[in-house]
Chain A
């Protein structure tokens, strides 16, 4: 089936889970990645059980944050 990942069309096997897609796409530090499917934010606890559908649009958003510089 065809899905769109980060703006690119990809052919993947039917029923692919988000968890497997993260592996297939070699996403580094997946624990810090938020996934959206058709603009819905998917809770990471559901990555293993969420099956993608034909023409789904998937985005990977890397957590970005930081903190203050501590002067010792």
Chain B
């Protein structure tokens, strides 16, 4: 199970909207207790691909985020990105590039702008399983 605050959800959502038509992306950090994760901070990073079909996190911003996490006693829990026009499911490319089987991969679909959908996935090899996501 992974918990996200409503405020952090809004932060992700607004960043994704601001970056349309391109994919937006970032990191999630917090605490971990067994398989339970609590997101304490979301990081909004630049998609260096500036594309609506692909994203890559800016490595300089990634470095700054990692340092900030360490300074605040947080651990990297995973990343998030938006799918502006497609469902909240990992693409083949998402799976191929998901190297960390302990990470949570969150995908916000803006396909239906009136009903954005955020899901979190555990990805191992070519298999993606939805995690229980609690937004409160």
Tell me the chain B residues, 69-113 only, with Cβ under 8 Å from chain A: 70, 79, 81, 83, 85-87, 89-94, 97-100, 105
Expressed in whole angstroms, the minimum distance between the Cβ of A4 and any Cβ of chain B is 11
Of A10-18, A44-52, A57-65, the one with at least 4 CB within 8 A of chain B: A57-65
Contact partner, B54, options A29, A39, A61, A68, Cβ 8 Å = A68
Judge whether B97 and A39 touch: CB under 8 Å.
no
Judge whether A65 and B54 touch: CB under 8 Å.
yes
Whether B132 is near chain A, meaning CB under 8 Å from some CB there, is no
Judge whether B97 and A59 touch: CB under 8 Å.
no
Judge whether B83 and A69 touch: CB under 8 Å.
yes
For the complex, give the distance between the alpha carbons of A68 and B22 in Å.
10
- Which residues from chain A contact B27 at a C-beta distance below 8 Å? 64
For the complex, give the distance between the alpha carbons of A8 and B57 in Å.
24
Whether B62 is near chain A, meaning CB under 8 Å from some CB there, is yes
Residues of B within 8 A of A (CB): 23, 25, 27, 49, 52-57, 59-60, 62-63, 66, 70, 79, 81, 83, 85-87, 89-94, 97-100, 105
With contacts A41-B59, A59-B66, A67-B91 known, what are 12 further pairs, Cβ within 8 A? A39-B63, A61-B59, A61-B62, A64-B25, A64-B57, A65-B54, A65-B97, A66-B81, A66-B97, A67-B53, A67-B93, A68-B93
